[in-house]
Structure 1
Amino acid sequence: MMPARGAHAAPYSYCSQPRALPARAKYRAAPEPDEREKGPVRYANLMYDRRVVRGNTYALRVLPAVRELFGPDPLEIQRQREARRRALSRKRAKEQMQPRTPEPVEGREHVHVQTELYLEEIRDRIVEVDVECQTDAFLDRPPTPLFIPAKTGRDVDTQIEEGELFDFDIEVKPMLEVLIGKTIEQSLLEVMEEEELANLRAHQRAYGELRNAELAEVQRLEEQERRYSEEKERRKRQRMEMLKKQKETTEKIAARAFAQRYLADLIPSVFSNLRENGYFYDPIERDIETEFLPWLMTKVEGALEKKVLGRTVLD
């Protein structure tokens, strides 16, 4: 139950509707004989459980490999059947010996009756009772007191007589001198070390600048040498090309002069030979000789043949 939040609602209400518990039988029903035979036997004592092997395990069970090779033992099968038959007969005898309630006479029937010492009233409806409770209002928690640990141990005091204590100014002077001396010495060493480191850095800086200058000079000289080498190679290639062109020009001029001298007498002789062999001719004269004269001779021969034929016919 929980309090309702409405102003005019009931002071308490249920979160869920009340419901009755399901009815359950008071006693467990005894299993039927058929169910006993079908279901597994639940042993209460391990000494009577057949799954527990007692004694020598090699003599009780047959190895699977031997059983596969030789097959099941007929004596073992017969022994199991007889044991099963004896168990069934023993169970039937036990059931017959168990006292049972006689069958009801005609017109009556058996009813389950409580035989316990204290009887229980059986009702169709379960008794329901409403119970309410009210909690008190929460009170403010008192402030937590300051924790003061308990005093432990014992108080002890001592007495210092005159002359037992030392004079601080006198006794501390040697220690201060040693401390100040060591501090000054360490400071001087550190200052000297810093000066030495500064000198080393300055020397390294000067050496680095000198080295950089030398490297720059070396690079400049290398670049100058490279330019000189490139210019020299370029001049050499240019000179070689010029000499090559000059040689080619000289050879061409010599070949031209030789060709002119050689062809000066060759051309007239060639033309004269060609003219003598008939390669150079007059086209009109050649046309008359090859075309006109053969045609003319053919016509003349035809005319003469006609005249001869006419005279022959007249004679």
Structure 2
Amino acid sequence: MRKYFTVFILFIFSLSQAQELNCTVTFNTDQVAATNQQVFKTLQKSLTEFLNNTKWTDKTFKGPEKINCSFFFNVLSYNNVDQFTAILQVQASRPIFNSTYNSPILNINDKDVSFTYTEFQNLIFNPNSFDSNLLSILAFYANMIIAVDADSFSPEGGTKALENAMNIVNNAQQTQEKAWTSNGNQNRYYLVNDMISPTYAPFRKAIYEYHYGALDKMSDNLKEGKEGIRKALKTLREVSNVRPNAYLTRVFFDAKADEILNIFTDGPKVDITEVVDNLNRLSPTNSSKWSQISY
């Protein structure tokens, strides 16, 4: 009996070490405040457990290696039965070497989220089929978070997770919902399709150069780290040269604009003429921020 108990404890311990995400899920229900709020509490708990307890890869992530992320649902409507519509903001960050700082790696605002959910229903994801919009959306973004995180640590390290995300998109084609199809615009389909496409290979290269090649070196040499960011922005410029106003360029700056501003307005001075020029060309919508970077 003791033998079986020991095996069971080891099994539970291995599971606690296996999952990849450290995720918080939040629901804002201000627009449906008159409805029964209990279903949202149940849903929040279920989604949190689903995202954190599902094993998304074949790798083992120990506690400190888990990826910090959040799913924020701004609920637009709920019909008091099982139909939900919402805007979903997905954010993720990764730690920077030899520091207490966590750098944002993803900040996606998905405005086309609709799903059905019956309170207390089991959430079990099958990667080989489309079972529900809710499960597919959660699994898609879980894989995208893992992909970008892996790309930030090794060149194209997130390829497997991107392939998993693309498989989810392919399985969801039967829904004909525009967020999953090429008929949409800057949606889930294009997010993963563009990251896999060789046309946008410099984007993934820039992710690696920016994080592993620059931020992770700042604790040793802040100026060298800034030079690394300048190199990463120059690489990202290759995407803009081929596809001006590319979706992935916007994705990059939705996560990184404030961080870049903070980096280049503090610490040792470097030649930022090229940096500011590239920033204005890559993300003109943030020109007011780039104007605060002094030469």
TM over 0.5: no
Q: More strand by proportion, 1 or 2?
A: 2
Larger Rg over CA atoms: 1
Greater RCO (Cα-Cα under 8 Å, separation 6 or more): 2
Scaled to the shorter chain, the TM-score interval is under 0.3
